[in-house]
Amino acid sequence: MRLTVHTDYALRVLMYVAMHQDRLSTISEISTVHRISRNHLMKVVHQLGVAGYVETVRGQHGGLRLAKKPQDIVIGDVVRTTEPDLALVSCFESGAACALTAACKLKRAISDALKAFLAVLDGYTVADLVHNRGALTRLLGSDAKTSAAGAAHPV
């Protein structure tokens, strides 16, 4: 199984914003730090906002912040929200035709594996992912806000 880039970026956004809870973060700074397309991040942040994980503040000094406490954002839930298709094989889709359906054990095995995968992710929160804040800050640079301060669209 491979998560989409969209989900990867969503998790990175949540981690970054959780690391900077003392201020608003901007799409521009997250884009700069992670070398991700700003336009792509705008879509990711929009979906995170609709799902209730982040809230945005418009205006010259705007940005985004977590809408929930980091310990209340379960990674499994984020994956379920951001992944467009967790149907790992075609027989998971409704109306799919397969000659093996009547005797196949593969569907159950894959279903069990998916449940186990999501169960493991359900054991982690955003707080768990940023528990090593010092090491993450060193890897991401001192403070990306300064490098993105001149951004035309802060959110």
Instruction: Indicate if the pLDDT at residue 33 is higher than 50.
Output: yes
Tokens 């900077």 found at: 20
More confident call, 39 vs 100: 39
More confident call, 64 vs 146: 64
Comparing CA positions, the residue from 50, 15, 11 lying closest to residue 144 is 15
Q: How confident is the model at residue 149 (pLDDT cuts 50, 70, 90)?
A: very low
Comparing CA positions, the residue from 14, 33, 27 lying closest to residue 140 is 33
> Tokens in use for 77?
């839930």
- Quick one: pLDDT at residue 131? 87
- Quick one: pLDDT at residue 155? 47
Mean pLDDT for the stretch of residues 40-56? 96
Q: Provide the mean pLDDT of the chain.
A: 86
* pTM over cut 0.95: no
> Tokens in use for 47?
């979906």
Residue-wise pLDDT tens digits, 121-147 = 999 999 999 988 777 777 777 554 444
Q: May I ask the CATH architecture of the domain 5-85+125-147? A: Orthogonal Bundle (1.10)
- Quick one: pLDDT at residue 94? 67
Domain ranges of the chain: 5-85+125-147
Residue-wise pLDDT tens digits, 72-119 = 999 999 999 999 888 777 776 666 677 777 778 888 898 899 999 999
Comparing CA positions, the residue from 63, 78, 61 lying closest to residue 15 is 78
